[in-house]
Amino acid sequence: MKIVEQYSHLNGYESLLVHHRKLWREIVEVISSVDASKYRTKVSKEKTMVGRMLYDPKALNKAMNDEFRLRQWEERRAAFYVTRDAKLIRKTLNMEAPEQKQEIEAAGEVAVRSYNQTDFVKDRIAVEVQFGKYFAVAYDMFVKHLAFYVGDIIDVGVEIVPMRSMSGIGTDENDKRGRGMSSGVPWYEKELYNLIREGRGVPAVPLVLIGVAP
């Protein structure tokens, strides 16, 4: 696969090149090492594409997962405690998890443990790969990457999604010949629109949005 487009939010790409050039090269290597043609193995059951061979999102995700793991990119979880009281959440937001729990319970509220999880983290860079769940991209960028950045765990978040040319989403509904993936998958052009629509400073975390294709 190859990188077709990329978008730098809050100088995310520039930060990678200046401070983490080696990690950027590893990300490019991972993408380049995956041969998408091997994963066009999903038989469509959609009405308009019954029997068509499509790219398998789970297989593509796993292929990239394996390549990142070979390069020692690891899953990372950040635990925290939540409660129903908004004032308490604001008060405890920047505390360590044990302190949050103590503060919430001291106020007479129930402290509920939760966490954010990112698939690939290495030397303060986080990467998420999304080939199957369009709704997960916004959560990655506006919640997960942001939470890890605010928690001083990462400096830049990277999001990898297919280009529209790979997914075929957005083509004429009466002509599915260009479709390479099932309905409901993310695609770069739409996610770029969603990101830019929020304004230049939102989310408040440096990001690199990457669009890939075979």
DSSP state of 38: G
Domain ranges of the chain: 2-76+119-213
pLDDT at 170: 54
pLDDT at 88: 94
d(CA 118, CA 128): 7
| CATH match of 2-76+119-213 with 1.10.1740.10 | no
DSSP state of 206: -
Residue 157, SS3 per DSSP: strand
From first to last of the 214 residues of the chain, give the pLDDT tens digit: 999 999 999 999 999 999 999 999 999 999 999 999 999 988 777 777 777 888 999 999 999 999 999 999 999 988 999 999 999 999 998 898 999 999 999 999 999 999 989 989 999 999 999 998 888 999 999 999 999 998 899 999 999 999 998 987 655 444 445 567 776 789 999 999 999 999 989 999 999 999 999 9
pLDDT at 175: 45
User: Is the link from the previous residue into 203 a cis peptide, with omega within 30 of 0?
Assistant: yes
pLDDT at 94: 84
Tokens representing residue 99 in the block:
């302190």
pLDDT at 174: 41
Tokens representing residue 103 in the block:
């503060």
pLDDT at 91: 94
pTM, 2 dp: 0.87
pLDDT at 179: 64
Percent helix, strand, coil in the chain, to 5, is 40, 25, 35
Residue 119, SS3 per DSSP: strand
Q: How many CB atoms lie within 10 A of CB 174?
A: 6
